Amino acid sequence: MGGSFKIGRAFGIDIKVHWTFFLLLAFFAYVGYRDSNDPLTALVTAAVIVALFFCVLLHEFGHSLVAQRLGIEVPDITLLPIGGLARLKTLPDKPVDEVKIALAGPLVNVVLAPVFFGLALLLGANLLNPANILEGVGSFGEVIVYLGYINVVLAVFNLIPAFPMDGGRVLRGLLATRFGPVRATDISAGVGQFFAIAFFVIGLLTNPFLALIGIFIFFGASGETQMVRQREMMRGLAVSDVMGTKP
């Protein structure tokens, strides 16, 4: 992805960060400083955002490692202000494989959430009192509780059938067993764009970040629909058609 640069590598996968991610860090650092007038609080607030996105990175590695196990190459994972993106070299051929890859990410968050909640309890934190990074970081225990809830949100939100999010990919995988990849993608993209419009409208009224996610989902669904159609069209062509010669 243009505008991204490599910060590391693990399991044969490059880890990249888009430059706009640092705008997000700067914004939350500013919020931390504005509320406290303390540079240290600004740094701690930014560190909490980094910890949040580390959970996002683990989510993407969930997808990526399952994809690798199924024989699909994963060149890189890119962190963006709206989340992470694991780039698969090819789409899975079997619908069941797409379902496995899609579910692997949220499953990571399902595992992480109780780990954070358990650690918070060991620290004596109240699970009903997470940190609010828009109103001050709070204690270390409150931050751990916050990260626990973040993982719950990541798991639940990603399972919404808003293609190309994880839930939408699960939906497409299930539909493809009956309707084939093109029709399944068309249906899933339609459902995804419905959610995208809903996110956009709700986001305009409540949270601009949600509106931005809606835009990403809408155009992501459209782009992947075109890609699947092109792939299936190429598969339907004979080698002679591609080469421009007769057998």
Structure tokens at 98: 């797409």
Q: Is 70 helix (H, G, I), strand (E, B) or coil?
A: coil
Please state the rounded mean pLDDT for residues 129-142. Answer: 83
| Mean pLDDT, residues 180-192 taken together | 95
Question: At 17, phi and psi to the nearest 5?
Answer: -130, 130
Distance CA 153, CA 89 (A): 28
Question: Which two structure tokens, joined as six digits, stand for 136?
Answer: 């001050």
Q: How far apart are CA 150 and CA 199, in angstroms?
A: 19
Where is average pLDDT lowest: 55-59, 217-221, 232-236? Answer: 232-236
DSSP letter string, 17-32? EETHHHHHHHHHHHHH
Length of the chain: 247
For residue 32, the model assigns a pLDDT of 85
Over residues 98-128, the pLDDT tens digits come to 999 999 999 999 999 999 999 999 999 999 9
Q: Could you give the percent of the chain with pLDDT greater than 90?
A: 79
Supply the DSSP symbol for 159: T
The structural domains of the chain, with segments of one domain joined by +, span 1-158, 160-235
Task: Check pLDDT > 70 for residue 150.
Answer: yes
pLDDT tops 80 at residue 25: yes
Give pLDDT tens digits for 191-232.
999 999 999 999 999 999 999 999 999 999 999 999 988 888
> Per-residue pLDDT averaged across 153-160, rounded?
97
The mean predicted confidence, pLDDT, of the chain is: 92
The band of 133, judged by pLDDT with boundaries at 50, 70 and 90, is confident
**Angle between helical axes of 181-205 and 208-236 (0-180°, round to 10):** 170
Contact between 228 and 173 under an 8 Å Cβ cutoff? The reply is no
Task: Indicate whether 242 pLDDT > 70.
Answer: no
pLDDT at 213: 95
User: What does the pLDDT average to over 169-196?
Assistant: 96
